[in-house]
Structure 1
């Protein structure tokens, strides 16, 4: 186990927290993209509410994971908490941009469709707690 007092230990800890934040941000984007269509399907009666319940449960787990990352970042230093999640969002945005750019190049497309989803235009909105009562 690495100690936060050790400079190398702090770098490893921060790298791990940022990696967790990137994964959490990607999951948040996925849930926010999938929830409205799923709610429409449930309202139409096409699919059962159990699928929506599973998505809400995943949303709650993600909220707990984001809070845990925040708590661990806060425990590692006062500047860390304010930089881990924004760094994760930035890296996630860059990764999505690169993947979509590569896909467009392989498909021989011009830039007719946006490379970055509109939900990424304001990544700060990802840092508010996710709740099952909120609609996106």
Structure 2
């Protein structure tokens, strides 16, 4: 694998993500490899193998491509709070043990004991997701 990414993830998004992880109180340490793959060690002893992408609407095709290229990742984060994913991509993640999140959701998930099951709640306590149409 190359030491750089060919997924179009900008240096500014990578830097933001890395700095935000370093400042998160649940994160013990971060190792970045292949430019966009992060091994995130949490204080509870778990490590989250995470791929950072920059897709406005992360679809199933992008998830499948990412898993083919980076088979060990357990989480796929689309950088930026303005980004999201399709319902199809999120459902695939649930069924296949892959956490699919935008940045804001992922940082919330770091606070849960089972991060892959994290979801934001609306004012009535119902789950909300960062769905975007392609």
Coarse TM-score class (shorter-chain normalised): under 0.3
TM-score normalised according to structure 1 size: 0.21
Which structure has the larger Rg over C-alpha atoms? 1
TM-score normalised according to structure 2 size: 0.22
Q: Which of the pair is proportionally richer in strand?
A: 2
